[in-house]
Amino acid sequence: MHRPFRTALAALATSAAALSAAGSASAQEVTIEYWQYFFEARVNAMEELIAGFEAANPNINVEMTHFPYADYRTRTAVAVPSGEGPDVVQLFYGWLNDYIDEGLIQPLPTDTFSPEMVEAEFFPMVGAMERDGAYYALPTAVRSLALFYNERILEGAGVEVPTTLDELVAAAEATTERDGAGNITQVGLTTGMTAQDHHWFREVLIRQMGGEPYLDDYRTVNYDTEEGRAALDFYLGLEEQGVTQSGFMDEPQAAFRGGRAAFHIDGSFRIGALNGERGLQWGVTELPATNDGTQSNYSSYWVNAITSSAEGPEYDAAVLFMEYITSPEAMQIWLDTVGELPARVEVGMTEENANDEVFGPFIRGLEYANTTFFADESAQRQVLVDMIERVQLQDMDPGESLSIAAEAEQTILDDYFGE
Partner 1 sequence: MASISSPDTARQNTARRGLYARLSIGQKRTLWAWTFLAVPILFYVVIRFYPTGNAMVLSLQEWNLLGDRSWVGLENYRTLFSDPVFWQVFRNTFVYLLLGTPISLVISFIIAYHLDKVRFMHGTIRALYFVPFMTSAVAMAWVWRWFYQDVPIGLFNNWLATFGISQIDFLDSTTNALPSILAPAIWAGLGFQIIIFMAGLRAIPRTFYEAAEIDGVSTWTVLWEITLPLLRPTIVFIVVLSSIGFLRIFDHVFNMTTANPGGPLNSTKPLVLMIYQTAFSSFDMGYAAAQTVVLFTILLIVSLIQLRLLRDR
Binding residues (CB under 8 A) for partner 1: these are 73-74, 77-78, 80-81, 98-99, 101-102, 104, 179, 181, 183-185, 192, 194-195, 245-251, 260, 376, 378-379, 382, 385-386, 389-390, 393-394
Cα-to-chain-centroid distance, residue 338: 13
What does DSSP say about strands 88-92 and 30-37: parallel, antiparallel, or unpaired?
parallel
Minimal distance, residue 107 CB to partner 1, in Å: 17
Return the number of the residue (303 or 341) whose C-beta is nearest partner 1: 303
In the complex with partner 1, the residue whose CB is nearer, 21 or 181, is: 181
Beta carbon nearer to partner 1, 53 or 235? 235
3-state SS class at 135: strand
Decide: 116 and 343 in contact? Cβ < 8 Å: no
> What's the closest the beta carbon of residue 14 comes to partner 1, in angstroms?
48
d(CA 348, CA 355): 10
Nearest approach, Cβ of residue 194 and partner 1 (Å): 4
Q: What DSSP assignment string belongs to 326-372?
A: TSHHHHHHHHHHT-PEESBHHHHTSHHHHT-TTHHHHHHHHTTEE-P
Write down the H helix ranges in 34-180.
40-56, 69-82, 96-101, 115-121, 151-157, 165-175
Label residue 158 exposed, middle or buried (CB < 10 Å: 0-12, 13-18, 19+): exposed
User: Which amino acid is residue 300, in one-letter code?
Assistant: S
Judged by beta carbon, residue 9 or residue 69, the one nearer partner 1 is 69
CB of 74 to partner 1, least distance (A): 6
Contact 148, 391 (CB under 8 A): no
Nearest to 139 by CA among 155, 128, 150: 128
Least gap, CB of 394 to partner 1 (angstroms): 7
Nearer to partner 1, 179 or 351 (CB): 179
**Least spacing, CB of residue 385 vs partner 1, in Å:** 6
Q: Which is nearer to partner 1, 99 or 136 (CB)?
A: 99
Least distance to partner 1, CB of residue 224, Å = 19
Please, which residue, 40 or 98, has the CB nearer to partner 1?
Answer: 98
